[in-house]
């Protein structure tokens, strides 16, 4: 994991595997791959989407860490861009709010996810939802296009987060805004966790400190930043012991280090 491109390839490979699996399999392990870590019987990161209008079960792979569309203040007719759109889960929920007069663009760097999302959209005859293969550090969307940007547990996987938020700023219209759910840290993770490529793809060791994350957003030019929701993520011992010894785990538990899911909002002036 020596270069940013290495990290991207790890994430790409892992999420290509995930695209071929069911939600139940994905939710049974820390990064959605049965080859990654010991399966457990409960969801580690994801929140329940089933109550939201526009929910499409075939698009829900259980990969998110929040419900950004619930907080995104999407209006009928809005153009919404979903960064890291996966099989289309958040994009389809966003479409139900933006309506037939709106337009939703999903961006994902994994071809298998794009194919799955496009198949779901075709099956549902959603003509105002499209999915584009692309990198969040170079978003394939024209400047000043989006009224709203959403993203769910993806920014933390991007090596150059400053560039990703600068790109988010670029594609938003003046007066537009984002609502992004993501994983951040309170306190430093042990090196053994941070260096684990498998756990990186599971949305933990690629995460920034919350204070650094907020600074990254502000440095991109955003204003009126607000944390819309915050909840602690409890990684089961069975998973953590795949990456550290029992003594290391005990030290980690006593350290006060926290893994937190946040949903954060900000405006483009």
Domains of the chain: 4-264 (3.40.50.150)
Contact between 27 and 46 under an 8 Å Cβ cutoff? The reply is yes
Give the single-character DSSP code of 57: G
Identify the pLDDT of residue 194: 62
Radius of gyration of the chain (CA): 17
pLDDT at 35 over 80: no
- Report d(CA 101, CA 92) in Å as an integer: 14
- Report d(CA 189, CA 180) in Å as an integer: 22
Q: How crowded is residue 209: how many other Cβ atoms within 10 Å of its Cβ?
A: 14
Helix (H) or strand (E) segment spanning residue 121? helix 111-124
Give tens-digit pLDDT for 40-89: 333 567 788 889 999 999 898 887 889 999 999 999 999 999 999 999 99
Identify the pLDDT of residue 159: 87
Give tens-digit pLDDT for 171-215: 999 999 999 999 898 887 777 766 654 455 455 657 889 999 999
Give percent of the chain with pLDDT exceeding 70.
79
pLDDT tier at 219, thresholds 50, 70, 90: very high
pLDDT tier at 106, thresholds 50, 70, 90: very high
- Report d(CA 180, CA 149) in Å as an integer: 8
Identify the pLDDT of residue 4: 65
pLDDT at 19 over 90: no
Identify the pLDDT of residue 41: 33
76-85, 94-103, 120-129, 246-255: least confidently modelled range: 246-255
Query: CB-based burial of residue 137 (10 Å sphere; 0-12 exposed, 13-18 middle, 19+ buried)?
Result: middle
């Amino acid at each position: 994991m020596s270069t940013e491109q290495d990290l991207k390839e790890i994430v790409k490979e892992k999420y290509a595997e995930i695209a071929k699996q069911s939600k139940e399999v994905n939710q049974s392990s820390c990064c959605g791959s049965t080859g990654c870590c010991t399966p457990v019987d409960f969801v580690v990161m994801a929140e329940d989407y089933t109550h939201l209008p526009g929910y499409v079960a075939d698009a829900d792979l259980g990969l998110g860490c929040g419900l950004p569309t619930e907080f995104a203040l999407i209006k009928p007719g809005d153009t919404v861009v979903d960064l890291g759109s996966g099989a289309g889960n958040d994009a389809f929920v966003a479409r139900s709010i933006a309506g037939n007069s709106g337009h939703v663009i999903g961006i994902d760097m994994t071809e298998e996810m794009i194919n799955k999302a496009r198949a779901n959209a075709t099956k549902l005859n959603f003509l105002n939802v499209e999915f584009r293969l692309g990198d969040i550090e170079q978003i394939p969307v024209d400047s000043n296009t989006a009224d709203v940007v959403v993203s769910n547990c993806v920014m933390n996987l991007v090596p150059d987060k400053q560039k990703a938020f600068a790109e988010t700023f670029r594609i938003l219209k003046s007066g537009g805004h984002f609502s992004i759910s993501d994983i951040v840290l309170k306190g430093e993770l042990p090196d053994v966790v941070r260096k684990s490529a498998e756990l990186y793809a599971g949305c933990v060791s690629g995460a920034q400190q919350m204070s650094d994350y907020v600074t990254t957003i502000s440095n991109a030019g955003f204003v009126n930043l607000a944390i819309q929701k915050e909840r602690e993520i409890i990684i089961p011992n069975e998973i953590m012991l795949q990456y550290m010894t029992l003594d290391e785990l005990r030290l980690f538990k006593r350290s006060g280090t926290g893994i937190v899911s946040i949903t954060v909002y900000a405006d483009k002036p």
